[in-house]
Amino acid sequence: MDDGTYNQIVSFIWGIADDCLRDVYVRGKYRDVILPMTVIRRLDAVLEGTKEQVLQMKKTLDEAGILNQTDALCNAAGQSFYNSSPFVLKDLKSRSKNQQLKSDFIAYLDGFSPNVQEILKKFKFRNQIDTMIEADILGAVIEKFVDPSINLSPNPVLDDQGQVRLPGLDNHTMGVIFEELIRKFNEENNEEAGEHFTPRDVIELMSDVVFMPVKDEIKDGTYLCYDGACGTGGMLTIAEGKLSKLAKENNKQVSIHLYGQEINPETYAIAKADMLLKGDGKQANNIYYGSTLSNDANATVEFDFMLSNPPYGKSWKTDADRLGGKDDITDPRFVVNFKGDPEFKMIPRISDGQLLFLANNIAKMKHSTDLGSRIAEVHKVHHYLQEMLDKEKVI
């Protein structure tokens, strides 16, 4: 896709907020509607071609009394997600009565598969329906997103002569468009930008620092990449792209699996949605919700590459309490045998838990392979960190 078409799509979606939401939402809340609706419209467009097959499969399963329908409906859809409602999004733009629109739109949302339901829940998107209905803007928002002048489908739109009028969007390009919208919203909300977003140039540099020194040691095989504070997932996807590129340049065949954990519900939803938009349904299942510090979702997994920008200057008192209190923590990630001390504690002050993310990564390092593990993190360095740098192969 050329830059002109790409910029047109980003500008069009960005403009929906000003066209439809301006008098109802403050600018900082535009994202509460635009991001989930972008996800919904893309998924809807991907599923349009197999809608009838999904509805037929749904009918067959219901008649047979089969309750666990997810795998069969995904197979019918040809995707890692589905929508079994009788509607596609375009059907809803013709509703003249708000209450009928509300009822049908909720039924449409209810038809999505469990993995999409989780994304909508974390976005808290259903909370926006009453607001949009009361302001009489839901129909306008839907109509904008299904505008025939913009194509969010993977398939091209043809003109009457069979020529391509609008090119299709492959999964990667759709993911890039979504990430650009996230970036623009982060810039609009300056108070959130540093907390949820790491600049792309910084991530590119971290990827170079992690991968370039070992590029000639990459072999055919499987590599696991991890981010324990993954935010919107940008660090993982850029790392995946860098590793894939280096492997290809060295004529190596690699399979890359991404893992992440995020405590903020909205950014978690964005990370999972971004994976789905790129066609990575299995990868989306490896993004976990919750606190890495007190509820580690990858306690038994070792990783080849770990990149993170953990929060610093942020209290971790809630995590400390969940771990039994700061003075009584026994988690083997944070209390280790080091220099003859079997209870060496890598536990910082309650007001700043960034060191704990580094300790978490070190506990997940591989020591049984030639390549080992490599870690890159953004940190505000203090004396605890220097002691860790002396102990392990950490960048």
Closest CA relative to residue 214, chosen from 384, 373, 383: 373
Measured between its terminal Cα atoms, the distance across the chain in Å is: 37
Q: Where are the domains of the chain?
A: 3-175, 196-391
pLDDT tens, N- to C-terminus, the chain (395 residues):
677 788 899 999 999 999 999 999 998 899 999 999 999 999 999 999 999 999 999 999 999 999 999 999 999 999 999 999 999 999 998 787 999 999 999 999 999 999 999 999 999 999 999 999 999 999 999 999 999 999 999 889 988 888 989 899 887 788 788 878 888 887 777 644 445 567 778 889 999 999 999 999 999 999 999 999 998 888 998 999 999 999 999 999 999 999 999 999 988 998 898 888 777 777 889 999 999 999 999 999 999 999 999 988 889 999 999 999 998 999 999 998 888 888 888 898 898 888 899 999 999 998 776 678 999 988 765 444 445 445 444 44
| Residue 226 C-alpha from the chain's centroid | 13
pTM of the model: 0.84
Full DSSP string of 351-374: T--HHHHHHHHHHTB--SSSS--E
Q: Phi-psi region for residue 221, left (φ > 0), alpha (ψ -120 to 50) or beta?
A: left
Full DSSP string of 225-254: EEETT-TTSHHHHHHHHHHHHHHHHTT--E
* Token code pair at residue 204: 């590119």
Name the CATH superfamily, with its identifier, for domain 196-391: Vaccinia Virus protein VP39 (3.40.50.150)
Quick one: which H or E segment has residue 183?
Answer: helix 171-188
Spatial distance between the Cα atoms of 357 and 301, rounded to a whole number of angstroms: 15
Quick one: which H or E segment has residue 62?
Answer: helix 51-63
Closest CA relative to residue 22, chosen from 134, 120, 135, 184: 135
| Residue 270 C-alpha from the chain's centroid | 4
Amino acid at the residue 136: D
